[in-house]
Structure 1
Amino acid sequence: MGRFYYYDFPSAEILVFDDFLIMQIREGADIHPKHNERLNEIVETHYTGKQFVYISNRVNSYSVDPLTYVETEKIPNLAGIAIVTDTRIMRQNAEYEKNFFDKPYKIFNTLSEAIQWAHKILTDFHQKQ
């Protein structure tokens, strides 16, 4: 793992690594499709010309407009989304949100599992090329 970048926004913290980013939404935030504008800026800065995986580390309670996923899915080099949560209600929310995203999407109990899956998704993608 090489260098990483850290972004601190009012509604979220984002850690950007070579092949994936980790998003941690702040407690009580309301996430809407408009939030993809900032995500797109980060993608253009760090992932131009390469695939990446989005990892949502759900350590806080917040709400997500499911239509946000419809916009997120339009990011052409987004290979998949991993959701990390260890609570039943957040897992149920993530299962529901999955219906709005038509790329690889998986829910994990730990960040380590999600990172391993991200590497597998990207390896599989590159082998198909």
Structure 2
Amino acid sequence: MAEILKLEFCKVHIENGYMIVIVDEGQMIDIEKSDILEAVAQDYFKGNPFVYITHRINSYGVDPNVYKSVSQIKNLLGFCVVSSNYMAKSNAMIEKLFLNKPFEVFDHLDEAKEWADSLAV
């Protein structure tokens, strides 16, 4: 069963095997906010494998330094970006260079969920 959390800077949907994060407009995801999201993931998945899906509905920034610590999350199977916005997808392709985990970009949330399910097999 899905659970929805509202944090100060985003909304997090926890589902079986993945978390879907919708960051609020104009935010900057820095190390501090990334650590908060990592704590949420560890709290809900408790060491079980999961995929992080960021649904980029809003425009926001990401400090590429966050990917150094994100790459160290042992139970993180993969990371993906969902957006139909050209700029968001271009930024995601750059971010991909900083993450040492499977990283994909999709136009639709259903595609991201299918990919997440395929990693969990």
Displacement of 1:117 after TM fit? Answer: 0.2
Q: What does 1:1-129 align with in structure 2 at a 5 Å threshold? A: 3-123=1-121
Displacement of 1:40 after TM fit? Answer: 2.4
Q: Distance in 2 between matches of 1:51 and 1:23?
A: 17
Displacement of 1:43 after TM fit? Answer: 1.9
* Identity score, percent: 30
Q: Distance in 1 between matches of 2:94 and 2:47?
A: 31
Q: How high is the TM-score relative to the length of structure 2? A: 0.96
Q: Distance in 1 between matches of 2:64 and 2:42?
A: 23
- Conservation of the 8 A alpha-carbon contact between 2:96 and 2:103: yes
5+ residue gaps, structure 2, are none
- In the alignment of these two chains, the number of paired residues is 121
Displacement of 1:112 after TM fit? Answer: 0.2
Displacement of 1:49 after TM fit? Answer: 3.0
Instruction: Output the aligned Cα RMSD.
Output: 0.9
Tell me which structure has the larger Cα radius of gyration: 1
Runs of 4+ with deviation above 4 angstroms = none
